[in-house]
Chain A
Amino acid sequence: MKKLLLSTALCASFATGAFAQEGEPIRVGILHSLSGTMAISETTLRDAMLMLIEQQNEAGGLLGRPLEAVVVDPASDWPRFAELARELIAGDGVAAVFGCWTSVSRKSVLPVFEELNSILFYPVQYEGQESQRNVFYTGAAPNQQAIPAVDYLLAEGVERFYLAGTDYVYPRTTNQILEAYLLAQGVAQEDIIVNYTPFGHSDWQTIVAEIAAFGSTGRQAAVVSTINGDANVPFYNELAAQGISAEDIPVIAFSVGEEELAGIDTAPLVGHLAAWNYFMSVDTPENDAFIDAWHTYIGSDERVTNDPMEAHYIGFNMWVDAVEAAGTTDADAVIDALVGVAVPNLTGGLSSMGANHHITKPVLIGEIQDDGQFEVVWETSGLVLGDEWSDFLPESAPLISDWRAPLSCGNFNVETGTCGGSE
């Protein structure tokens, strides 16, 4: 074990030496799995972050100092996330960490960031019901994805909803919110079916046959899919094989982006939907520049961009702005400076950081095209602020979050007037 400490120390001193000529570098931690089950999604985010940091350095660094990325591999192992977060903050002294994908990895590192008072940017859409002082949520909350998606389906005349999800917290909460919302919109209980499958479910024959039956009652039906990563390819393959077209029963997904579609032949899936805050196909100068930079950086024109990459793009630029505004990388100062920061997103708008540490984003609904891209068919007129505590769940309806000075609370109960969870 001593050997380990010694080599870590050696490594650390070696790394600091490399940039010494331009003043002490500012270190940025990248905490994304590069092996294990989540590597499939997270490796791209590591590369995107490295690209952003390289660009920032070419533009003169930050506060006149170069940025230095510290990359670690938590290997899709949740305790290791916490362990490496601790090492990044306490050992490598990073100013901020960009990382995590699953909710459980975020939950695992939360106490570490709280204890060591550092900053985490979390770039993935999630179930909400959380707001922590040290975390900035740049992915979508349910109101920035799920609810507008269902609104769109209702407007399209969909009367029956099959909510299919992987059995974990994000789909559970999202479906709970959606069910409450749909009932409130006058959809009958018997027209809503909720179905959960395990992680990595690969045999979808039965469920797809069930969906086909569900959709053949003469009334328009749709599938709302919160099926997670790995299970999507076999799911869509089976949909295509059984000949369920988007015109008969559209599937709207919240976890399927360009990256997931890269593994599927999308020709039979044209018209199925996804709700995100960004699509690679969005036609704006910012997005074109980003895609070109990405293709150059990664050395391949085949690689796609996706929503969590945009979230990191926004988050990173917000952090840069906040550090410049605060004039320091000190966590407390940057956390305060971050609220209210507004930076351009890739869809032509200006995203800003709310007092609840969630950001404003447009909501886009896209249809799958035969080239594996999405085409936007609907979007919100303005930007929507992430709602951390859902109004559609009784237990979180009275909660709000505001991290600005006098309140400084992530779960303030407006009914009792107290900040929950405080000692």
Chain B
Amino acid sequence: MKASMTRLIDLRLGLFLAALFAVTVLAPLATTLSSSSPFNLPSYLIPLMGKYLCYALLAVALDLCWGYAGILSLGHGAFFALGGYAMGMHLMREIGARGVYANPELPDFMVFLSYDHLPWFWWGFGNFGFAAVMALAVPGLLAFVFGWFAFRSRVSGVYLSIITQALTFALLLAFFRNEMGFGGNNGLTDFRDVLGFSLSAPSTRIALFVLTAICLAACILIARAITISKAGKVLVAVRDAESRTRFLGYRVESYSVFVFTISAMMAGLAGALYVPQVGIINPSEFAPANSIEIVVWVALGGRGTLVGAAIGALVVVALKSWLTATFPDLWLFALGGLFILVTLALPNGLLGLLDRFRRAKPAPKEVPA
């Protein structure tokens, strides 16, 4: 038992989880300190940190399918956004009659666009449990169907990447349409509370932040468990030599579909946690550029390391937040330069750099795409 635990949680993961745990406990505590204390954390930063953790979770999801199974999805933002929309729809319904038009049945934007009844796909979202299930099921189902067709037809490599991009682009256009019944460009916003707790209350924010941290830890552990299992070994084999694995008698597509679906569900979970903390979900989350950014996080942190992906996301997003506020005219230069530098100087990402410092051993052999 103990041996399997250490296999599951290696040093890197252990350190990461410990740091995550520390932040999760200390950050809420720090907000209670008096503002003169040097350790005081303004409470407005809690949802921001929660948002970063959502991105980290999204990066872990992508790393699971890209880093271990070689499925480079340029459309993971779509699963994230779908999860977000499912949660957003619930939060929208929970506003109830407190909207500006005081319509107990219809969200404001529907009144605004002269709907006279709730569209069928909004049914059930009044219930939190249903919305939570849908936040996982909708991205999961889409990934399953999409993967089922794509992997059985042996669509792979850049072809797969480009059609995942086409998928998220098509969804982007579709969600922008007001006729779709998801609020068009304005998206879903103006949320009040979740399960009866006000979203602007500090305690709700802390709870959401802690919940996000727990989900991140859980997903990393699940992902890790998958990758060190026998199935995980097969996935790596698929990544490195798909045809050979196929000739050895493995049903490559089943493994790929499995991991792609799990990954999409994790992305959906990240989206569902993201929306109540950010307060808005809009079709621009489907933008292909967002999905490319996720890939950048993973590559920057270190592909195929899970922890690295999470760190990559945190670093890039935090850096972007800081730069856009401090150097509004220059931040794109800095960010662009960083991406170039990292690829040229750190082929295995930030984590690869750490490894290089940690042991003189040569870096693991590069993985082909």
Contacts and interface: CB of A to CB of B under 8 A. Distances in A.
Interface of A: 1, 4-5, 7-8, 11, 34-35, 71-75, 77-80, 82-84, 86-87, 90-91, 102-104, 107-108, 110-112, 115-116, 129-130, 167-169, 172-173, 176, 196, 198-199, 393-396, 399, 410-411, 413, 418, 420-423
A410 B100 contact: yes
B325 A5 contact: no
B93 to A, nearest CB: 15
13 contacts: A1-B23, A71-B328, A73-B324, A79-B51, A82-B278, A104-B185, A104-B282, A108-B279, A168-B176, A198-B176, A395-B111, A399-B101, A420-B101
B44 A90 contact: yes
B328 A73 contact: yes
Interface in B209-256: none
Nearest to A90: B44
Interface stretch (B6-14, B159-167, B186-194, B343-351): B186-194
Given A4-B321, A82-B280, A91-B44, 7 more contacts: A72-B328, A73-B329, A167-B178, A168-B185, A172-B184, A173-B112, A422-B98
Contacts of B112: 129, 169, 173, 395
B282 A421 contact: no
A406 to B, nearest CB: 20
A108 B42 CA distance: 21
A420 B280 contact: no
B322 A169 contact: no
A169 B178 contact: yes
B209 to A, nearest CB: 12
Contacts of B178: 167-169, 172, 196
Given A82-B278, A422-B98, A35 B332 contact: yes
A8 B322 contact: yes
Given A104-B282, A198-B173, A411-B100, A75 B324 contact: yes
A115 B274 CA distance: 19
B114 interface: yes
A41 B106 CA distance: 34
Contacts of A108: 189, 279-280, 282
Contact of B324 (A84, A91, A413): A84
Nearest to B322: A4
Given A167-B176, A396-B101, A91 B189 contact: no
B259 interface: no
Contact of A5 (B41, B98, B189): B41
Interface string B106-138: 000101111000000000000000000000000
Interface in B30-89: 41-42, 44-45, 47-49, 51-52
Contact of A78 (B101, B109, B284): B284
B200 interface: yes
Contacts of B190: 107, 110-111
Nearest to B278: A79
A78 B282 contact: yes
B176 A199 contact: yes
A45 to B, nearest CB: 13
A107 B114 contact: no
Rank and list the top 8 A-B pairs by shortest CB-CB distance, nearest first.
A73-B328, A168-B185, A420-B102, A90-B44, A73-B324, A79-B278, A108-B280, A411-B100
B310 interface: no
Given A420-B100, A422-B98, A1 B280 contact: no
A35 B323 CA distance: 12
A44 B173 CA distance: 29
Interface residues of B, number: 50
B111 to A, nearest CB: 5
Given A87-B44, A421-B102, A422-B98, A1 B278 contact: no
Most chain B CB within 10 A, of A11, A34, A78, is at A78
Nearest to A75: B324
Given A72-B325, A82-B279, A167-B184, A1 B314 contact: yes
Contacts of A5: 41, 45
Nearest to A91: B42
A81 to B, nearest CB: 9
Interface string B333-357: 0000000000000000000000000
Contacts of B99: 420-421
B152 interface: no
B349 to A, nearest CB: 19
B154 interface: no
A86 B280 CA distance: 14
Contacts of A399: 100-101
B258 interface: no
Nearest to B42: A90
A108 B314 CA distance: 23
B114 A176 contact: yes
B98 A169 contact: no
A71 B325 CA distance: 7
A102 B280 CA distance: 14
B318 interface: yes
Contacts of B98: 421-423
A315 B310 CA distance: 43
Given A4-B321, A7-B322, A169 B173 contact: no
B284 A77 contact: yes
Given A7-B322, A8-B325, A83-B51, A169 B111 contact: no
A30 to B, nearest CB: 9
A169 B331 contact: no
Most chain A CB within 10 A, of B48, B103, B185, B284, is at B185
B277 to A, nearest CB: 9
Given A78-B284, A395-B101, A167 B321 contact: no
Contacts of B321: 4, 80, 83
Interface in B276-301: 278-280, 282, 284
A338 to B, nearest CB: 21
B45 to A, nearest CB: 7
